[in-house]
Structure 1
Amino acid sequence: MIKRIALTVAMVLSSAAIAEDAANTTTDIESLKREVAQLKRDMRVVISNQQALAEHTGLIKKNDQQAVQIGGSATLGKDTAKVVLIEFTDLHCPFCKKFNNETLPTLKEKFIDTGKIFFVGKHYPITSLHKNAYIAAKALECARSQKIDNEQHYTDAKNWLFNQGSRLYSKELSIFANEMELEQKEFDACMESDTVESAIDADIALVKQLGLSSTPAFAIGLKEGTTVTKWKTFTGAKGIDNFTDAIEQFLAIEQ
């Protein structure tokens, strides 16, 4: 009996030790993940500093970049902001919708509304994938043209078109104009206008000039008047941490 009790106690103690080891292992893994994430952030800073030092000392030359024009595109935030984030969107792209619904609101709260970045909304409708995306882009611009300085109106119109998605036909355009409280005749005339098409075509030409070919696509850089300089580009519906890292790197640059 004593041997049996001793064996049972030993088994209990062994199980407890195994459970403790498993808990410690889980804690260690989480700790390692945090350390790796911090090392990645530190490495990006080091690489950025090395790049700046090399350019300053003349070891390498800065890339010859053409300044990107902000133009008459939709904007959010204060134009006195130091950093500009340009979005090229396809209103029928599910990944663009994901960025718009999940990441942009946080960016707006943390960086746009606080005056740290100036957001510029441009178009890149990929009609080979989404046949009515160009029509959606025109609808957004025609809605914006009636309330050009109303940021909330632009946001509401963009959200409506994202939610409608590819189910955008003539009937839906009338519903859109009504819900956005637009003057219908003016909206219809705008939808037939070459002017709005020229503006969208200019956005498409710009995104291709920047070497981008998918959506959502972004350019981030420093604001100099009505242009963006020292820009970098990236694509995909990235999370808020990716945008935060990029924005903070540009905010740290002395102009």
Structure 2
Amino acid sequence: MRSPKSAKTVLRGHRGLLETAAATALTIAGLFVIGNPPASVRAEAAGVPVNELMAAEALPDIALGSSSAPVTIVEYASMTCSHCAAFYATTFPELKSKYIDTGKVRFILREFPLDPLAAAGFMVARCAGDDKRNAIVELLFAQQKNWAFTDKPVEALANLVKQTGMSQTSFEACLKNQDLYNKIAKVHDQAAEKFGVNATPTFFINGKKQNGEMNPDALAKLIDPMLKG
């Protein structure tokens, strides 16, 4: 797991990425690191006050679950992070069925792209609209190896999101949206500078910071004590 210090460093390939997207034929291999080293979950001694964590962001949160849930989980993730994709494949389904759908947990995913391609993935998810954003994030994680780790990742990304109804014209326009790009960069930098996020995935569970991919049992051990009155 790794992350550059600032979104200006992380996302400095934006212009090249947009040109690549417009061409839909060039590769941006080399702009991102394939995969992440194995990571173990570790509790962080310092937490973040929940009111600070939940203050208004550059982009509005698109939450899953009840606003009155006793536990709020905020995840910072990158679309090209293999550990993030693994969390969505192995842990998120149980988290959703056992805790989110039952009103026990409110879940929020925030953008923390580690590279320009991850930023592109988040951009198209936002451009799809609030009602589709989380579903597209899940789709991109599920299909990560089929677009992020290919010879022509931008072309593969465009073809994948076409399945959701996004046209090539809309896709290219989305990646040229400088305002959206800047807001994603601000979310990244806020997390890094104010909350100490320096790797993905990073979770805040009622403000308590946890780094690394978690299996269902590890997550339950953190959530369940918070549900006891």
Q: Whole-Å Cα distance in 2 between the matches of residues 89 and 64 of structure 1?
A: 17
Q: Is the 8 A contact 2:125 2:136 kept in 1?
A: no
CA 1:162–1:218: 2 relative to 1, 3 Å: farther
1:149 is matched with which residue? 131
User: Which secondary structure state, in structure 2, belongs to the residue aligned with residue 96 of structure 1?
Assistant: helix
Shift of 1:102: 0.5
Is 2:201 the counterpart of 1:216? yes
User: Which secondary structure state, in structure 2, belongs to the residue aligned with residue 120 of structure 1?
Assistant: strand
Shift of 1:201: 1.4
1:159 is matched with which residue? 142
Cα deviations by residue, 1:61-111 (Å, 9 ceiling, x for unpaired): x98836113641332222232211111111111111111111111111110
Q: Whole-Å Cα distance in 2 between the matches of residues 125 and 63 of structure 1?
A: 22
Is 2:153 the counterpart of 1:169? yes
Give the alignment of 1:12-161 within 5 angstroms.
65=49, 67-69=52-54, 71=57, 72-127=60-115, 132-143=117-128, 145=129, 148-150=130-132, 152-161=135-144
User: Which secondary structure state, in structure 1, belongs to the residue aligned with residue 131 of structure 2?
Assistant: coil
Based on CA coordinates, which of the two structures has the bigger radius of gyration?
1
Is 2:227 the counterpart of 1:251? yes
Q: Whole-Å Cα distance in 1 between the matches of residues 117 and 137 of structure 2?
A: 19
Structure 2: 5+ residue stretches without partners:
1-45
- Picking from 207, 210, 214, the partner of 1:238 is 214
CA 1:174–1:132: 2 relative to 1, 3 Å: closer
Q: Is the 8 A contact 1:91 1:162 kept in 2?
A: no
Tell me the amino acid that sits aligned with residue 101 of structure 1. Answer: A
Q: Is the 8 A contact 1:97 1:162 kept in 2?
A: no
Structure number with higher helix proportion: 1
Shift of 1:152: 4.0
CA 1:179–1:161: 2 relative to 1, 3 Å: farther
Q: Is the 8 A contact 1:132 1:166 kept in 2?
A: no
TM-score (norm 2): 0.67
Q: Is the 8 A contact 2:75 2:110 kept in 1?
A: yes
CA 1:141–1:243: 2 relative to 1, 3 Å: same
Q: Is the 8 A contact 1:217 1:235 kept in 2?
A: yes
Q: Is the 8 A contact 1:139 1:173 kept in 2?
A: no
**Count of equivalent residues:** 177
User: Which secondary structure state, in structure 2, belongs to the residue aligned with residue 149 of structure 1?
Assistant: helix
